[in-house]
Amino acid sequence: MSFGKKILGLTASLLMLTLWAGYFYVFQENRGGQLGGAYDSTAWCGTPPSADALSLGKDQLTLRVTNNLRGEFMLGGSVIVSERTFNRYDLGRNELRLRLEPLQWSYGATPIFLEQVRIKPLSRNLAADNKSAYAELEPRPINVQGRATEFPFDTYRYGYKPVLYYLKGTERIDLRFRHITTLMEMSNTFTPIQKYNRAEYINEKNPMVREEDYKPYATTECAFSVERKGSFKVIVLLLLLVICLPLMHVFYRDEPGIDFLATLVGIGAVRVLLIGPLQDFQLYNIDFLFGAAILLVGTVSLIKAMRANSRRALAAQSGSTW
């Protein structure tokens, strides 16, 4: 057996071993259809979540942040206004508003753009004892720091300070809500990690770091780093290795078969499964791996086809059977 055949056989053996090892790892990480523990994709900060907040009639703002496999984040939630606050600020006539003040995400950048979130009209239950008012936030996309093109190693940072206010003429009146809760309900492929101060949130080695950067965030400030789960990265690796199977078949065949077509179909299926169909030619880093796999399989198949054609031509000239 030639040296090249030995290397090819060793590569094929390692590929199969890696596929089976990864398969059993993902199988062990499965928890009722979830990757990891049941609460690995959820977290909260601020005031502890309470199911009876409405019955208590206290001022409370609840933000609910969700995302999907592609790393697109959405914001929703609700607000409860006590009878005292409702009457004090005449919120029956003054429209209640919400702005999100972004926390500093880099020592070289100062955030200046605020996120405005629309609140639906307040509704009051006059039959209740506390006569508090309730309204939901209109769901909308929310900006986070991160690059989706780095999939599956994309990491995002969510950091905001929510402030409720209303306008009195041209004057902006801020309302001081002590009970503010941010719920992070991430996709099964993500895990949120809370950051407790500016140094942790920015996470940069920079001479501009000061002692005050280690000061804990206020209870109304919320910062998270959202990362891909390790088990999901293993799944992506397994799917990429599966794409390598047609390539191995190409090297073992004397003549090219349907391996090039199998590679195209496999890559298309994996791409749609992981990221979705191509939108406006937005390319991810992983797309270049897909392209390299297609080119490699196509190149090897074409070279083998050319060699086979040359052998047929030589056999025809010599009058022998190829």
Per-residue confidence (pLDDT) for residue 92, from 0 to 100: 85
For 138-172, give one letter per residue: b (16+ CB within 10 A) or e: eeeebebbbeeeebbebbbbbbbbbbbbbeeeeee
Structure tokens at 238: 């397994």
Q: What is the pLDDT of residues 200-236, one digit of tens each?
A: 998 888 777 888 888 999 989 999 999 998 888 888 8
Domain residue extents for the chain: 3-30+232-318, 41-228
Per-residue confidence (pLDDT) for residue 139, from 0 to 100: 94
Pairing between strand 190-194 and 140-141?
unpaired
Per-residue confidence (pLDDT) for residue 43, from 0 to 100: 93
Residue 103's CB is within 10 A of a number of other CB atoms, namely: 20
Residue by residue, DSSP assigns 221-259 as: -EEEEEEE-HHHHHHHHHHHHHHHHHHHHHHH-SS--SH
Per-residue confidence (pLDDT) for residue 82, from 0 to 100: 87
Mean pLDDT by 10 residues, the chain (322 residues): 69 80 76 70 86 68 91 92 88 91 84 89 75 90 90 92 89 89 92 92 83 89 92 88 81 76 87 84 89 88 82 74 54
Its sign, for the CA torsion 146, 36, 224, 199, is negative
Which residues are bridge partners to 64 per DSSP? 76, 183
Q: Tokens 């049941």 sit at which residue?
A: 38
Pairing between strand 60-67 and 179-185?
parallel
Structure tokens at 306: 């050319």
Please, how many CA atoms are within 13 Å of residue 202, restricted to the half-sphere of its CB? 21
